[in-house]
Structure 1
Amino acid sequence: MEKVVLAYSGGLDTSYCVKYLMHEKKLKVHTILVNTGGFSEKELEDIKERAYELGSSSHINKTILNEFYEKAIKYLIYGNVLKNNTYPLSVSAERIFQAIEVINYAKKVGAKYIAHGSTGAGNDQIRFDVIFQTLAPDIEIITPIRDLKLSRQDEVAYLEKHGVHYSWEKAQYSINKGIWGTSVGGKETLTSHSALPGTAYPSQLEKQTEETITLNFDKGELVGLNGSKDTPIKNIQKLEEIASAFAIGRDTHVGDTIIGIKGRVGFEAAAPMVIIKAHHLLEKHVLTKWQQYWKEQLANWYGMLLHEGNYLDPVMRNIEVFMEDAQKSVTGDVTVKLKPYHFTLEGVASDHDMMKSDFGQYGEMNNSWTSDEAKGFIKIYGNANKIYHNVNENQL
C-alpha cells in the first residue's frame, strides 16, 4: 500500500480523512499533529490514542515551539506586526510551520501523498498547498473535505458506517489555540454587526485589581518579567497566564482573505498584544525616526506575506535581516499596568533612551542651538511650500 501523511488534529474533519484515505483511496495512513502551544500533554496523548483507534499506521505529536519562535514570533515582535492594525497573526503564522513539519515527516516515511482537512473557502488550504507544492512538488496533495464538499452530517454518517461512534456534538464556538493567541469563530463572526459574547472566549475575567508588571527586553527579545530572567518562550507563557486573567487582548479581526472574500474572526491574545505594544513603545524611545518609518513599512509587508502563506519567498529573509539589525539598541524595561479587559503603558527605562540626550528637552529648553539658528532653520525649512504657493496662487 502507498503511504499518505495526514495533517491531523483529532477533530471531525481529520478523523473523516483517516477513514476516507484508508477505505476509498486504499492508502496506509500516517498522522502527525504539529503543536504550536495549543495542547496540553494529556490532550496530545488522547489525540494520539484516537488516531490509532481510527486506524492510523503511525502517529507522532511534534511540538515546534522553539522553531516557531525563532522563525516567526521573534520577527512578529521585532516588526510589531498587527494585521490591519488589529490581529497579531495568532493562527495564520502557525500554518506555515505546521505545513513544513508535515512535509518533513512525509519525506521521512517515504509517503507518496500528503493530505489535510481544509475546506475550499478559507486561507488554510492555500497556506498548506503552497508550502507542499514548493518543498515537495513530487508528493501529491489529497484534500477530501475540499474536494467532496461534505456536510458535517455526511462525515458523521460515513464514520459511523465504518464503526466510529464518537460524540461529535458541535461546539457553539470554534477555538484554535496556540502560543501566539487563540482564534474564536461562531455565528456572530459570520455577520458584520454582531459581537462575540464574553462567554465565547476561553479566558474569563478572574482579576479585578490592577497589577503593574515590567517587561524586560534585550535587543528586541522578551528576556524577563519583573526582573526575573527566562527564555522568551517561557516569558510569553508566563505573561499569558498573568494577563489573560484580566481578559486582556480580545478583539475581532476583519480582513481580506487570500481568495478575495472578506472574513471576520474573533481572537484573544493577551501576551502578544501586551508584548507588541510594550516593544513598540520602547522602540519609540531608542530608534531614530527613519528606522521606525522604514521598519514599519517592511514589517507591514512581512506580516501580509506571512499571513498569506508566502513565507518561503526570499524577500522574507531580506526583511528579517533588516528587522533584526534594527533591534541592536532595543534594550530596556517597559512598565505596563494590567486592568480588567485592557492595559496601559506606563513608561520605559533604557540606557539607549534618546529622550535623555543633552541636546534639549521637548517643549522646554534647547541647549545646543541659539534662537537665531532656530529661526534660520525654520526659514529654510519652509522654502518648498513658499515656492509652490508663490507660483500657484489661490490654491487653498
Structure 2
Amino acid sequence: MSKPRKIVLAFSGGLDTSVILKWLQIEYGAEIVTFTADLGQGEELEIARERALALGVKPENIYIDDLRDELVRDYAFPMYRGNAAYEWNYLMGTPIARPLVAKRQIEIAREVGADAVAHGATGKGNDQLRFELAYYALAPDIQVIAPWREWDMGGRAQLIAFADRHDIPVAKDKRGEAPYSADANLLHISCEGKTLEDPWLTPEDDAWVRTKSPEEAPDRPTTIEVDFVKGDPVAIDGERLDPVSLLTRLNELGAENGIGRIDIVDTRYVGMKCRGLFETPGGTVWLHAHRAIESITLDRGEAHLKDELMPRYAELIYNGYWFSPEREMLQALIDKSQERVTGTVRLKLYKGNVIVEGRRSPNSLYSQDLVTFEEGGPYRQDDATGFIRLNALRLRQLGTLVQGGVA
C-alpha cells in the first residue's frame, strides 16, 4: 500500500500521541491533521492545540470539537435503554465513546481529503478494535495506521527517549514512576496499571479521583426524583435538563454520595484479563432508575427478553461493533421496548448505595386490584388450580417414572 499523503490523527496532546505525531511525520512524510474530542474529560483541551502547533501542524489542520451532547444523546442514551453492562459489571464509559471519536475522525478525513487515519491505542487492548472496526465500517477503503503495532518502541522509557531526541516537552511527573493509565469522559473515568496489575492488592486511595469514598460521603441521604420519557431521562426533581446537563447533575449527586466505584477484572476481546477501577457515578444512578421505571412499564415477556439479550448487546459495544448490523438490529428491538417507559422514579442516595423508594407511570402495568391480599378484585384464586396442574403435568410424569424404578 502506498504511503498516505494526509493523515488524521486522534490526538490528546499527551506523551503518547505527541510522540506518534512526530513519528508519523518522520516515517510517512505526510501532512498531519490532529483531532481532539471534547468528551467532558475535564482537561484543558487548548494544551492539545499548543502541542500540535509546536510540532509543526498547520493551524487549519487542528480540530478540537465538542462532542459531549452527541456522546450522551446518540450513544449513552441508546446504551442505557438496553441496561448494558459488560460481564454484568462494567458500564462501558470508554467503549461507548470510541465509535463517536472514530466517526468524527472519518468525517474530518473526508472534509480535508485525507487518505489515512491513525490512533494511539496499543496492540494489547480493546481500543484498537473499537477505533478500527468503526473506521472500516464507515470508510471501507481508508488506510489505518496503528503506530504501536508498527514501531519498535516497546514502552514508556523509549517514548521519553524519543521525545527527548526530538525536543518534545515531557512533564516532570511523566519521567518518574509510570502513572496510572486513565481514560475519562463525561460518563466515567477508568484507572489501570501500577499496583492494580496485581488483582489481589487493595487499590491505593489516589486511584479514585471522581467520587467520594462511601466512608466520607454525607451521613444523611439525598433523595431525588428522575423523570423518564420513552426510556430516556429528561428531568431531575422536576427540572427539565438537556442531556449533558442532566448527566453532569447525576454525576455530581452520585459522586457526592460515594456512588459508582467498582473494582473489576474483565476479559478483553483480544483474550487477556485486565483489572481496572471505574468510577461511573451518574451512570450508576441512571441505570438503577431506568430499571426501576421499566419494572412497572414493561410486560414480563418484554423485560425478560431484554435481560436475555443484554449480555450480547453489551458484548457488541465492548468489542467495538457499534456500527455493526447486529447491534443496530438489537437497538431497534430495545428502542421498540421503550415506547411506554415513561414516568418518575424516586431514589435515595446514601453512602455508595442507590435505593429505589418509589416509581410511578401513566403506563404502569402494576395493578393494586390484582395484587392486593384483600378480598375481591378481578383475580380468581381458584383459577390457579388448573394452571398449576397443567404446569406440573410433565413433572408428575417424570416423578412417576423415577419413583417407579424404571429410570
User: How far apart in 2 are the matches of 1:3 and 1:85?
Assistant: 42
Could you tell me the TM-score, scaled by structure 1's length?
A: 0.93
Amino acid at match of 1:51: A
Corresponding residue for residue 161 of structure 2: 157
Corresponding residue for residue 19 of structure 1: 22
Corresponding residue for residue 41 of structure 2: 38
Query: 2:370 aligns to what SS in structure 1?
Result: coil
Amino acid at match of 2:380: T
Residue in structure 2 matching 1:318, options 326, 329, 332: 329
Superposed counterparts of 1:45-60, under 5 Å: 45-57=46-58, 58-60=61-63
Corresponding residue for residue 376 of structure 1: 386
Residue in structure 1 matching 2:281, options 259, 262, 270: 270
1:68-92, Cα deviation, whole Å (9 max, x unpaired): 2333211221111111111111111
User: How far apart in 2 are the matches of 1:132 and 1:370?
Assistant: 59
Corresponding residue for residue 7 of structure 2: 4
Superposed counterparts of 1:106-121, under 5 Å: 106-121=109-124
Greater shift after overlay, 265-274 or 242-251?
242-251
Amino acid at match of 1:77: Y
Alpha carbons 2:189, 2:210 under 8 Å: kept: no
1:37-68, Cα deviation, whole Å (9 max, x unpaired): 2135xx11122111111222321112222332
- Going from structure 1 to structure 2, the CA distance change for 1:321 and 1:365 (only over 3 Å counts) comes to farther
Corresponding residue for residue 370 of structure 2: 359
**Alignment of 1:389 onto 2:399:** yes
Deviation of 1:270 (Å): 0.5
Greater shift after overlay, 192-201 or 327-336?
192-201
Residue in structure 2 matching 1:244, options 237, 255, 261: 255
User: How far apart in 1 are the matches of 2:80 and 2:374?
Assistant: 34
Corresponding residue for residue 62 of structure 1: 65
Alpha carbons 1:156, 1:168 under 8 Å: kept: no
- Structure 2 unaligned blocks of 5 or more: none
User: How far apart in 2 are the matches of 1:25 and 1:369?
Assistant: 75
Deviation of 1:227 (Å): 0.8
Alpha carbons 1:30, 1:59 under 8 Å: kept: yes
- Going from structure 1 to structure 2, the CA distance change for 1:137 and 1:317 (only over 3 Å counts) comes to closer
Corresponding residue for residue 192 of structure 2: 185
Query: 2:227 aligns to what SS in structure 1?
Result: strand
- Going from structure 1 to structure 2, the CA distance change for 1:371 and 1:293 (only over 3 Å counts) comes to closer
1:191-248, Cα deviation, whole Å (9 max, x unpaired): 2212322331112426413211111111111110011111233211111112211221
Could you tell me the TM-score, scaled by structure 2's length?
A: 0.90
Deviation of 1:292 (Å): 0.4
Greater shift after overlay, 86-95 or 53-62?
53-62
Corresponding residue for residue 280 of structure 1: 291
Query: 1:69 aligns to what SS in structure 2?
Result: helix
Alpha carbons 2:229, 2:342 under 8 Å: kept: yes
1:232-288, Cα deviation, whole Å (9 max, x unpaired): 332111111122112210002322211111122110000001100111011112211
Deviation of 1:8 (Å): 0.5
Deviation of 1:290 (Å): 0.6
User: How far apart in 2 are the matches of 1:127 and 1:232?
Assistant: 24
Corresponding residue for residue 84 of structure 1: 87
Greater shift after overlay, 189-198 or 88-97?
189-198
User: How far apart in 1 are the matches of 2:91 and 2:282?
Assistant: 10
Query: 2:371 aligns to what SS in structure 1?
Result: coil
User: How far apart in 2 are the matches of 1:5 and 1:213?
Assistant: 44
Amino acid at match of 2:242: T
Deviation of 1:17 (Å): 0.8
User: Would you say how many aligned residue pairs link Structure 1 and Structure 2?
Assistant: 393
Deviation of 1:32 (Å): 0.3
Greater shift after overlay, 132-141 or 244-253?
132-141
Corresponding residue for residue 167 of structure 1: 171
Alpha carbons 2:296, 2:366 under 8 Å: kept: yes
Alpha carbons 1:13, 1:145 under 8 Å: kept: no
Alpha carbons 2:199, 2:265 under 8 Å: kept: no
Deviation of 1:178 (Å): 1.0
User: How far apart in 2 are the matches of 1:352 and 1:36?
Assistant: 35
User: How far apart in 2 are the matches of 1:370 and 1:6?
Assistant: 67
Alpha carbons 1:203, 1:245 under 8 Å: kept: no
Query: 1:203 aligns to what SS in structure 2?
Result: coil
User: How far apart in 1 are the matches of 2:217 and 2:25?
Assistant: 49
Greater shift after overlay, 170-179 or 293-302?
170-179
Greater shift after overlay, 369-378 or 341-350?
369-378
**Alignment of 1:222 onto 2:229:** no
Query: 2:85 aligns to what SS in structure 1?
Result: coil
Amino acid at match of 1:306: I
Residue in structure 1 matching 2:147, options 144, 148, 154: 144
**Alignment of 1:337 onto 2:341:** no
- Going from structure 1 to structure 2, the CA distance change for 1:303 and 1:281 (only over 3 Å counts) comes to same
Query: 2:358 aligns to what SS in structure 1?
Result: strand
Alpha carbons 2:18, 2:168 under 8 Å: kept: no
Corresponding residue for residue 348 of structure 1: 359
User: How far apart in 1 are the matches of 2:133 and 2:381?
Assistant: 60
User: How far apart in 1 are the matches of 2:320 and 2:9?
Assistant: 19
Alpha carbons 2:69, 2:243 under 8 Å: kept: no
Query: 1:73 aligns to what SS in structure 2?
Result: helix
Superposed counterparts of 1:291-330, under 5 Å: 291-330=302-341
Q: Indicate the percent of aligned positions where both proteins have the same amino acid.
A: 29
Aligned CA RMSD, in angstroms, stands at: 2.1
Amino acid at match of 2:199: S
